[in-house]
Amino acid sequence: MSYAPNEAEDAVDARKSEIAAFAHRMRHHVIDMGEAQGQGYVGQALGVSDILATVYRDRLRFRPEQPQWPERDRFLLSIGHYAIALYAALAEAGILDVEELDTYATDGSRLPMSAMATYTPGMEISGGSLGHGMPLAVGMGLGLRRRGSRALVYNFLSDGELNEGATWEAAMSAAHYELDNLVAVADLNALQADGATDSVLRADPLVDKWESFGWRAVRVDGNDLSQLLRGFEELDRDESGRPRILLCDTTVGKGVPLLENREKAHFMRVDEHEWQIAREQLEGSVES
Ligand SMILES: [Mg+2]
């Protein structure tokens, strides 16, 4: 009996397994960096590894050997404390050497605990004061368009940043200027420094809210690669000239049950003996 494989499906499966492997290696880097320092925003980083792997493996146009290539897509890490996650992605993307991750958060390192554009290749902005990524993305989008560039600006922000007025002012500006070169990606992990997002300041219904601000918005499970790929493709198909946002629900600590089930805290405590358990649980999470 002959079997004619569906090539389109095979191609998608191949992309997905490359992204999954990228995300898996990222999570290991995060655990290694966290253990070396005894701390870090590990829960958030594990939660967004699938998103960053999808973006860096499948979406962004960049040249690893030339981080300042003028035509590169810009990826703005508005959430500066997620730097540990981006370092892991930059290493897997070939912009940083994997060995350099060993210097994370040590004196003299190019990889400080909070993102610094002047220190790290591939880090486009210094995050930290939350809510500033979106205004910067709008300015960059306008500047690139004026230059006639085809580069896209991705702004990676958090659900906590949806409490910030500056985010919404910038969102209105992006729609006003019809910035179709702007793609926002939001990590909705239902957590922020002061507690659960719903208890601090409720932001739902987010798709309706963004659409009413003049954006094209799609919401997906940010830990499901099929949904992430489909979500981005749905945004690609929008030709209305609107800015676009992918809203991604994620699980803090994703891939490490010990941390997924921990009482959720913005800065998660991990005891010394737990790093190795985390590593072993991560191995157990790989689908065969
Ligand atoms: Mg959050």
Helices 7-37, 83-92: inter-axial angle, 10-degree rounding: 130
Sheet holding 182-188, edge to edge: 74-77, 153-158, 182-188, 244-249, 216-221
Give CA–CA dist 182/90, Å, rounded. Answer: 21
Domains within the chain, CATH numbers bracketed = 11-284 (3.40.50.970)
Decide the pairing of beta strands 195-196 and 191-192.
antiparallel
CA of 133 to the centre of ligand 1 (A): 15
Query: How far is the centre of ligand 1, averaged over its atoms, from the C-alpha of 96 (Å)?
Result: 26
Please state, in angstroms and rounded to a whole number, the distance separating the CA atoms of residues 159 and 60.
Answer: 22
User: Beta 244-249 vs 191-192: how paired, if at all?
Assistant: unpaired
Q: State in Å: Cα 7 to ligand 1 middle.
A: 38
Contact 16, 278 (CB under 8 A): no
CA of residue 165 to ligand 1 center, whole Å: 16
Q: What is the pLDDT of residue 265?
A: 75
Contact 249, 220 (CB under 8 A): yes
Nearest in space to 121 (alpha carbons), one of 85, 142, 95? 95
List the pLDDT tens digit at each of the 288 positions of the chain.
344 556 688 998 999 999 999 999 999 999 999 999 888 899 999 999 999 999 999 999 999 999 999 999 999 999 999 999 999 999 999 999 999 999 999 999 999 999 999 999 999 999 878 999 999 999 999 999 999 999 999 999 999 999 999 999 999 999 999 999 999 999 999 999 888 999 999 999 999 999 999 999 999 999 999 999 999 999 999 999 999 999 999 999 999 999 998 877 778 889 999 999 999 999 997 653
158 CA → ligand 1 middle, Å: 5
Kindly give the distance from the C-alpha atom of residue 253 to the centroid of ligand 1, in angstroms, as a whole number. Answer: 12
From the number of C-beta atoms within 10 Å of its C-beta (0-12, 13-18, 19+), residue 12 rates as middle
pTM: 0.95
Separation of 265 CA from ligand 1 center, angstroms? Answer: 10
* Cα torsion angle, 270, 277, 52, 242, sign: negative
How far, rounded to the nearest angstrom, does the alpha carbon of residue 161 sit from its chain's CA centroid?
A: 14
Q: How far is CA 260 from the centre of its chain?
A: 18
- Cα dihedral angle (92, 96, 97, 99), rounded to 10 degrees? -90
3-state SS class at 76: strand
pLDDT number for residue 267:
82
- Cα gap 110→126, rounded to integer Å: 13
Q: What is the pLDDT of residue 223?
A: 98
How remote is the C-alpha of 98 from its chain's centroid?
A: 19
Virtual CA dihedral for 54, 59, 63, 65, nearest 10 degrees?
Answer: 0
Ligand 1 centroid to 162 CA: how many Å?
9
